[in-house]
Amino acid sequence: MIDISRFDLRPLTADMPLLPFCCADKDLNEFLTQDAKNYLEEMMAVTYVFIDPDKQQIAAYFSLLNDKVAYDPQSKGIWNRINRHIHNNKRRRSYPSVKVGRLAVGEEYANSGFGSIILDFIKREYAKGNRAGCRFITVDAYRDVTKFYEKNGFEYFTTLDILDSTRLMYFDLKNVKEQLKGN
């Protein structure tokens, strides 16, 4: 497991020069170099970078944006499972969430546990901070990384997207909040 404390975590800013970054996915590389600052400028997503100060490169990054978990009549069973964990008088047709828009780990740092550490960091920050009411984390996971998200406690919203290139998944932050209370 990688020691994350040796990296500098910074929000990407419009004037920040981009240090080198390369992961195995061309789309994730292009998002960082071509789109992340545009999403920031348009107030659509905020990207955070982990900088390796020794190598002066970006080791990993993730972007976050607001989302919601909404009722889908085609997936009543899953919706019922979600609602079971919410008090009757608080049940709604949608719940606030944060979406992991992108999460990428550089090739040099791959298979080190960095991605799971990032997800744990996001979970803790949103569970303990909860500045604007956020119950879930969502992600449109590429099909080839759904096992990674499953391993990190995410569940599928539906089986209707099983043949799609991405699968909609969620994580209930209430679980982390309960764990933080115990510590």
pLDDT tens, 19-57? Answer: 999 999 999 999 999 999 999 999 999 999 999 999 999
Average pLDDT score over the chain: 90
Higher confidence at residue 60 or residue 157? 60
Contacts of 69 (CB under 8 A, 6+ apart): 82, 94, 95, 97, 135, 136, 138, 157, 170
Q: How many domains in the chain? A: 1
Q: Is 135 exposed, middle or buried (0-12, 13-18, 19+ CB in 10 A)?
A: buried
- Find the CATH number of the domain harbouring 127: 3.40.630.30
- Please determine, for residue 84, whether its predicted confidence score (pLDDT) is greater than 70: no
Q: Structural domain of residue 11, as residue ranges? A: 4-182
- Please determine, for residue 82, whether its predicted confidence score (pLDDT) is greater than 80: no
